[in-house]
A and B are shown apart, each in its own frame.
Chain A
């Protein structure tokens, strides 16, 4: 049996898809058979972030409607053993799939994978309901901003009401320098406000932009964000990885300090 994890946020643009791509990649790096499902029907993106956009033949809706077999729609990521993507449809909309069909889809993948990762669309409408329907646990992504946290709170309320068994928080795009001078809410502030356990914080790292440009996830690479994502994956596997606050070094001095700290 696999564990089904939904990555959700409420607000758009906080890094759900990037988080899904990197957690999927990280789990595969750690040796887990992983499939990522892009549930954002009509606005597919996970394929692009993964750099797999040119290999799509069939999609999630094709599988649900029986136009193809599951095996035909799954894209194997040649860079990582055990990593697969089920892309979304670009020409349809959220109403093409209902929660029951999504649960059936997830069920069909249970035997072949250790982890099934669902990248949820923004919003709280049908797309969200589809994505969370078959999930065992939820990762709520937010950034340290008033609007994103407000939406995360709403999502947490909905997940609670829907009996989601496990909910964890990921605080994305933390700027350590801004937190230090008091111009950004700290991870502690966010945790205090949302009252959901934290599974990791991701520093605002320009390596993410570069990685997305190239279509190459950075989980596991020697970057601050890459390490933070891999740490989250380890925690998902049940490893006890201490929660350290992300510390991206901006500039040479910071980088040196980072090196010294790591040594």
Chain B
């Protein structure tokens, strides 16, 4: 088979059950990303093209184009089948194992890239809104320039974050982003990666139950203190338990939240109350809802 320089052997996404061996010339595997053509591989004489499609009838993941005039040897899938039919079973197992392993490696590679690019996406989302980027395409383009994440994977990431309720996507735009939670999530991931510790914003189940009880009880029994929301300690301990799934609330159970300055306990002469910023607490609870789900979603997405 002869190809002139610039001729395409096949396009990305097309089906083709041939295996090509480069006899002469050079070809490139290309992918279009944000209006740019990215060369992924260069095939030189002796290289094989189309292994995945031949063995597993998968669509081509890249377009392949001749860089110079080239000559290829074309092998039909039937030739592969004939050869394998003559081979012992164990040999056939190895061939298909190699193909499967390659596909798995491609899948893991994409998954790995997504996980790696997540902090950058959160970073752009949290910073970008204050600048100019509300547009999904623009966001994906910048994510690509920053981390190299391809648009297909970037879209998966955006959909994961949308499914977690961090924003809504419609008409190609990102709407109603929860900036504060996005920033906290980015901060938590950065802290986890650099310090190898659990970030202070990630709370134990007990602390989350207490905060939830605080939010619920202050709705009926709260009062304002220093522009924050407060509740009498005795009322909170008495009423809060029903919202904390039976957890017995006491001064001691608040220790962790007091140390982290999420709640403040005031005990003066005749007053004994607890206060905190309800908006920050709600964001913190939202972060703690999302955080454990995120890893699972990142791994589960195909």
> Do the two chains belong together in a single complex?
no
Interface residues of B (CB under 8 A from A): none
Interface residues of A (CB under 8 A from B): none
